[in-house]
Amino acid sequence: ALSARADESLFIEFCEDFEYTPVVFTANQTVNGKRKAIYHTNVMMCLAETFAVICLDAIDDKKERKQIVKHLQQTNKEVIAITEAQVNNFAGNMLQVKGENNQLYLVMSQAAYNSLTPNQIKQIEKHCPIISSSLDTIEACGGGSARCMMAEVFLPKA
């Protein structure tokens, strides 16, 4: 998602260098009654190995929204839509991790988990178990949630 923190030309250059397909869009959220750009894509979208949790309502342009859904489906990801209210409860700020024996898990805050519907939880759990924990202090004071606290570490297989 384009924002003050995401430069389109630099992103396209990165994708060309690493042979990725760039998918550029604008994501917004309502702040004090006005639509404003979401500053980080991971606020409104979590890409996992076989699914994507995404706030399609944040993509105001219908053409861009269709493009994102089409691209996710073409890459064999199940699209799990969340609402802007769920984004405000950090449901977009999740991270899929790999544990022992290559077991995948989806890590999120308890606030994010509590905002999900039973159907959304079922959709996620088809792909991997959920790990959630209270991150109230970080969410209230730190400006982020589970995904913001974690970094991917890609270690070679031993």
The residue behind tokens 């609402």 is 83
Domain residue limits, the chain = 8-149
Please name the residue that has the structure tokens 């959920």.
130
Average pLDDT over residues 129-158: 80
pLDDT digits (tens, 9 = 90+) for 64-91: 999 999 999 999 999 999 999 999 999 9
In this structure, what token pair is assigned to residue 77? 């990801």
pTM listed for this prediction: 0.89
Would you place residue 44 in the very low, low, confident or very high pLDDT band (cuts 50, 70, 90)? very high
Tens digits of residue pLDDT in 88-105: 999 999 999 999 899 999
Which single residue is written with the structure tokens 């905002």?
115
